[in-house]
């Protein structure tokens, strides 16, 4: 992520404050009164890469305490993300623990502003005093390796959902992004992972999974599942990373919840098409590099390919209406009891819709939903009530 200049940061802060404060009073009041749960914020990997005090104003990122409170955010699931490359080189587990350490350090520095949340039943008393509660979700099951006991260890550290795969197939599951699927869904080990997660009370997250893997999870899990940060494929035909209406309906039928993402790459059809096209283009580039290596010739840097791709495929400006359209469609399809939000703040390089640029901006989402006729009761469910219901159900089943 590029670090903006001081002037750019100042202008960005002014713009973000204006956006949040521009929301009507009724929207700001509801955002403050409702329990807002965002299931996907990528602050931990940014903290490890470049420490910043998120307990104070941190204008070079999209999550910090002052803006979270201005936006009404109560529960922020911190994404413990590891890349497929970390799985390949054996560093995924250590990277995951380092990110959990970073989240715990942020809490220790500001115990009056943050607290770790390990159970929805602790929400009320921990939330007192205006604290933002930090829960943990693991994005990519790579840190588990081939050892089911790691699930117990990460649960003990506070991990309460696991996205089984990310942008490549792994030991657990096929990825939606993979051009060639390895398992045809979940692996045999992945089936055991899902069963063990049910036993421990860790929510199974199907975002990033191939369609067949999502179907396998739904067939195996004995409790509701979530999609922590997905879009609706209805708006991005052919983009497997987003959920089809059929799979979204199956998640809802099992009692689960689809947490809708904000990033332009998932809600803007042009950006989604570009993202989909990137993977075969990158695979072709890697094949060319392999041929060069075999011929004893110098290879082209991956970074150079990525830079050229980004220049040729600028992310289109996207309006908040694209996210509202996603929510409208999901509510019509699934009912208001099965829709939530998982922004992907700090995870998409700033490629976010206007009026949804940081955790200060949830009131703008509320205002848009109110303007489109959603009742305040339904908006409360979407903002966090639905996710908390599923989390409690998964926890209750584990206790039983």
Q: Residue 238: helix, strand or coil by DSSP? A: coil
Phi, psi of 162 (to 5 degrees): -130, 125
Contact residues for 276 (Cβ-Cβ < 8 A; gap 6+): 238, 239, 241
Residues 63-69: contacts with CB within 8 Å, 24+ apart? 63/345, 63/346, 63/358, 63/359, 64/359, 65/110, 65/113, 65/114, 65/132, 67/16, 67/20, 67/358, 67/359, 67/360, 68/132, 68/359, 68/360, 69/130, 69/132
Delimiting residues of CATH 3.20.20.140 domain(s) in the chain:
6-268+319-399
DSSP string for residues in 276-321: HHHHHHHHHHHHHHHHHHHTTPPPPPHHHHHHHHHHHSPPPP--TH
C-alpha torsion 43→45→50→52, nearest 10: 20
Helix axes 6-22 and 362-371, enclosed angle (nearest 10): 30
376 phi and psi angles, rounded to 5 deg: -60, -35
Beta strands 36-41 and 73-81, pairing class: parallel
d(CA 68, CA 90): 35
Inter-residue contact 92 to 140 (CB < 8 Å): yes
Half-sphere exposure of 400 (CA within 13 A, CB side): 9
Task: Please name the residues in contact with 373: beta carbons below 8 A apart, sequence gap of 6 or more.
Answer: none
- Which pLDDT belongs to residue 22? 82
> What fold characterizes domain 6-268+319-399?
TIM Barrel (3.20.20)
Tell me how many degrees the CA angle 255-258-259 measures, rounded to the nearest 5. Answer: 135
341 forms beta bridges with: 38, 260
Cα angle: 76, vertex 80, 85; to 5 degrees: 150
DSSP 44-63: HHHHHHS---TTS--TTSS-
For residue 243 the two structure tokens come to: 């959920």
Neighbours of 179 (CB within 10 A): 11
pLDDT of residue 20: 59
Residue 231: both structure tokens together: 């879009």
Q: Are 217 and 174 in contact (CB under 8 A)?
A: no
Per-residue pLDDT at 19? 58
pLDDT at residue number 10: 42
Is residue 119 within 8 A of residue 388, CB to CB? The reply is no
Residues 6+ apart with CB under 8 A from 18: none
The H-or-E segment that residue 133 falls in is: strand 132-139
Neighbours of 44 (CB within 10 A): 26
Per-residue pLDDT 10s for the chain (400 aa) are 333 333 334 444 444 444 556 899 999 999 999 999 999 999 999 999 999 999 999 999 999 999 999 999 999 999 999 999 999 999 999 999 999 999 999 999 999 999 999 999 999 999 989 999 999 999 999 999 999 999 999 999 999 999 999 999 999 999 999 999 999 999 999 999 999 999 999 999 999 999 999 999 999 999 999 999 999 999 999 999 999 999 999 999 999 999 999 999 999 999 989 988 998 898 899 888 888 888 888 899 999 998 999 899 998 999 999 999 999 999 999 999 999 999 999 999 999 999 999 999 999 999 999 999 999 999 999 999 999 999 999 999 997 7
């Amino acid at each position: 992520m590029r670090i903006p200049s001081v002037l750019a940061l100042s202008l960005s802060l002014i713009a973000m404050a204006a956006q949040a404060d521009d929301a009507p009073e009724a929207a700001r009041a509801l955002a403050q009164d409702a329990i807002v749960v965002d299931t996907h914020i990528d602050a931990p990997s940014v903290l490890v890469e470049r420490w910043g005090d998120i307990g104070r104003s941190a204008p070079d990122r999209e999550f910090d305490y002052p803006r979270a409170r201005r936006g009404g955010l109560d529960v922020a699931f911190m994404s413990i993300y590891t890349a497929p490359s970390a799985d390949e080189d054996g560093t995924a587990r250590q990277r995951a623990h380092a990110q959990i350490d970073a989240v715990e350090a942020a809490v220790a520095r500001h115990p009056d502003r943050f607290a770790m949340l390990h159970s929805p039943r602790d929400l009320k008393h921990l939330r007192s005093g205006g604290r933002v509660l930090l829960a943990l979700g693991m994005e990519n099951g790579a840190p588990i390796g081939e050892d089911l006991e790691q699930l117990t260890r990460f649960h003990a550290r506070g991990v309460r959902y696991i996205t089984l795969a990310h942008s490549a197939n792994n030991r657990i599951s096929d990825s939606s992004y993979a051009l060639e699927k390895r398992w045809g869904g979940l692996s045999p080990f992945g089936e055991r992972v899902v069963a063990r997660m049910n036993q421990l009370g860790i929510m199974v997250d199907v975002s990033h999974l191939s369609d067949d893997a999502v179907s396998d999870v739904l067939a195996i899990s004995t409790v509701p599942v979530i999609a922590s940060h997905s879009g609706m494929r209805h708006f991005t035909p052919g983009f497997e990373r987003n959920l089809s209406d059929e799979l979204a309906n199956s998640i809802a039928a099992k009692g689960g919840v689809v947490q809708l993402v904000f990033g332009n790459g998932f809600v803007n059809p042009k950006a989604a098409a570009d993202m989909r096209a990137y993977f075969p283009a990158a695979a072709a580039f890697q094949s060319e590099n392999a041929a060069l290596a075999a011929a004893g010739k110098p290879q082209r840097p991956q970074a150079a390919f990525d830079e050229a791709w980004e220049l040729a495929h600028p992310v289109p400006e996207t309006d908040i209406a694209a996210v509202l359209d996603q929510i409208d469609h999901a509510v019509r399809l699934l009912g208001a009891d099965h829709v939530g939000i998982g922004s992907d703040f700090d995870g998409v390089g700033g490629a976010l819709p206007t009026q949804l640029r940081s955790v200060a901006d949830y009131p703008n989402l509320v205002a848009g939903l109110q303007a489109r006729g959603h009742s305040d009761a339904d908006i409360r469910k979407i903002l966090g009530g639905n996710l908390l219901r599923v989390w409690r159900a998964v926890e209750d089943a584990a206790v039983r």
